[in-house]
Structure 1
């Protein structure tokens, strides 16, 4: 019996979300649809130019942990905040979602991470992230009992930037595999893939990572091809399971020679794509750790992502377990 279904490792970030027009992105030199890493000075400047905003605890893997808990799964999270106001907000929110979060906060600087997210009228989000305390997550924060007692450990590619976090992920993966568990990652962002293509492929091909999540642009970037079909055939050979999201085209899951196509759910209005991939991973991993077939795992992912993009912010407002029951997927 495992204590947790999924242990998520990621950047503990408070999202500050505001709507804007396309000109705002151009005027402020913001790359649309990407996660842009910024320093403290740039963070202050963008914050001063933002319109009315919503503050919500975010971070890719943290969103996934919250989604798994909303489905009724048992989720844990490793992530570093500072002992400041935003750090208190983050810890409160993730605990309120039902996620086990016991990483010791950092005393003093740097402060808790924050991401200024600008949402354009087409629902696309452009993230500008100051990592702050996130970069201090390291091997000393690895809780061995959680690493060995979670069915799947899941980490975000974004966390491959800070060197200490890289060590923490490798240590956790080693503990997980020694205990007969599986390890999963999300590629996170095409720019992230460009920075670490060789290392990400090594993680997959060496067996350090068993399950990979990506969207279409990330997986084609990983294999440096414009052909989705070619990328799909390549990723099939490089990991045990891969789940690739394709926005309104749904998703496709591959495992060995097996291929499962999943439709996107019908939505009433596209509001904000922030967290869609995170919530897809939550639904998939909830199904996977519950012993469901790949088609059901994909449908649970599609359901969670579809609900997420019809609201502002990445954390589920509905009870996902109830939504799954209503959809006949419980």
Structure 2
């Protein structure tokens, strides 16, 4: 079974500053800010929502097709995807652009300064939603603005149910545009903060939004997640990770769990529990695609966490 994943494919360059930004930024001089931070740790990770979701879905034994645009520096990422069996059928390369990239500097208080270059991601609309893959489910995750709008319409026109996952792309859309996504989508997945933003911009409550969807999923970090479906709210506890090293990409791992449940016609509680465990496994590893396991291992961990199989 196949899932279509509209979203970004990006590089994340992560740097650690062994001090605190507040010790080097003078509040009364921010209008002439000129600072440099010496970082003794740097790593470059493969990321982007579509890349992360497809990778996690692959670990669960399912086929996820990224609908993404990349640039001339895609080479090493392409080899990574090939090595792990992540399909690149609908990843389109533009040699006059760079891949999307985030440059993130984190200090000892976990404050972050991020510079994001969208690059080829802004051309995501150049990739069309395929109708010949027999896709059972899709997802519209953060991507180029026009790509998100057009892919949602194309999913709806093709009759392919999809999850609307606005994520970091949420600020690009006003209330009317968000409502249009909700009207087209079958499901929506947001974190707690994003759910408040959607409510504020649309003027609709959680109950109002849930009535327009088959399911509304809200993740709440260590407090677990809530799934509003069939007129009821299903709370799913968070799975305690073996360590907390890096939350980046945790939401994408969770969404891969949602897609797995939908692909396999599982009930919402089981689907939420799979998603919760996926997030826990990710947060225990640095980077968004550095956790590895077999489906057999995952089933054992699931049984340990929840006392049953799926």
TM-score range, shorter chain: 0.7 to 0.9
C-alpha distance in 1 between matches for 2:13 and 2:57: 23
Do residues 274 (structure 1) and 248 (structure 2) align?
Answer: yes
Judged with a 3 Å threshold, the aligned counterparts in structure 2 of structure 1 residues 46 and 320 are, in CA distance, closer, same or farther, namely farther
Aligned residue number for residue 170 of structure 2: 192
Matches within 5 A, 1:291-330: 291-319=265-293, 321-326=295-300, 327-328=302-303, 329-330=309-310
The correspondence of residues 48-127 of structure 1 with structure 2, limited to 5 A, is 50-82=39-71, 84=72, 86-103=73-90, 105-121=92-108, 127=114
Give, in angstroms, the shift of residue 314 of structure 1: 1.1
CA-CA distance at 1:53 after TM superposition: 1.8
Q: Is the 8 A contact 2:125 2:144 kept in 1?
A: no
Tell me if 1:172 matches 2:138.
Answer: no
Return closer, same or farther for 1:120/1:300 CA change in 2, 3 Å cut-off. Answer: farther
State whether structure 2 residue 2 is matched by structure 1 residue 15: no
**Would the alpha carbon gap of residues 273 and 122 (structure 1) be closer, same or farther in structure 2, given more than 3 Å must change?**
farther
C-alpha deviation, 1:121, in angstroms: 5.0
TM-score (norm 1): 0.79
Partner of residue 36, structure 1: none
In structure 1, stretches of 5+ residues that fail to align are 30-44
- Rg bigger for which structure? 2
Kindly state the Cα deviation for residue 234 of structure 1 after the two structures are TM-superposed: 3.0
Q: Secondary structure at the match of 1:79?
A: strand
- TM-score norm. by structure 2 comes to 0.84
Task: Rate the CA distance shift 1:215–1:10 in 2: closer, same or farther, 3 A.
Answer: same
Aligned residue for 1:100, secondary structure, equals: coil
1:223 touches 1:234 (CA, 8 Å); kept in 2? no
Where 1:64 maps in the other structure, the secondary structure is helix
CA shift in 2, pair 1:104/1:186, >3 Å: closer
Q: Which moved more, 1:121-130 or 1:106-115?
A: 121-130
Match of 1:150 in 2: 135
- Distance in 2 of aligned mates of 1:124 and 1:262: 29
Q: Does 1:248 align with 2:222?
A: yes
Equivalent residue of 1:173, what SS? helix
